[in-house]
Structure 1
Amino acid sequence: MKGHRLDLKAVPALRLDLRGVLPMALAALSPDEIAHLPVGHGRSLQALGDWFRIEPFEADAPTLHLHGDAAALARCDHIGEGMGGGLLMVHGDAGDHVGSGMGGGELRVLGSARDLAGCELAGGLLRIDGDVGAACGSPRPGQLDGMRGGLLLVGGSAGERLADRMRRGTLIVAGDVGEHAASRLVAGTLVIGGALRGRHAGWGQRRGSVIWLDADQAGRWQDSPPTGYVAAQADAPVAWALLARDLRRLGAEVAASADVAPGWSTLAARLAALPSLPAPPRLLGDIGVDGRGEWLLPSG
Structure 2
Amino acid sequence: MRRSKRITEHKMAEQALHGGIGRQIEERARLCAPTPPPPKESLPGSSVEATSASRRLLFPDVMPDVMSLLVLLRCARQAKVPHISNLKSVRGIVTHLCTDYGWINESIFFNPDMVCGNVPVNVGMSVIALVEEDETTHALKTIKVKAVSDPIYGIEPSEFDKRLCIKCVTYTTRDNIYISEETFFPMQLLSGGFLPFKGDLLLVEYSLKQGTLNITINTVRFLNCQNMDEVCITSTDGKTGVVESCIFFTVDSLQKPSDYTPGLYDIVNVVAVDSIQPHCSWRAVSMIPVEMCIDQAL
Q: Same fold (TM over 0.5)?
A: no
Name whichever structure is richer in strand by fraction. Answer: 2
Structure index of larger Rg: 2
Using the size of structure 2 for normalisation, the TM-score is 0.27
- TM-score, normalised by the number of residues in structure 1: 0.26
Greater relative contact order: 1 or 2 (C-alpha under 8 angstroms, separation 6 or more)? 2
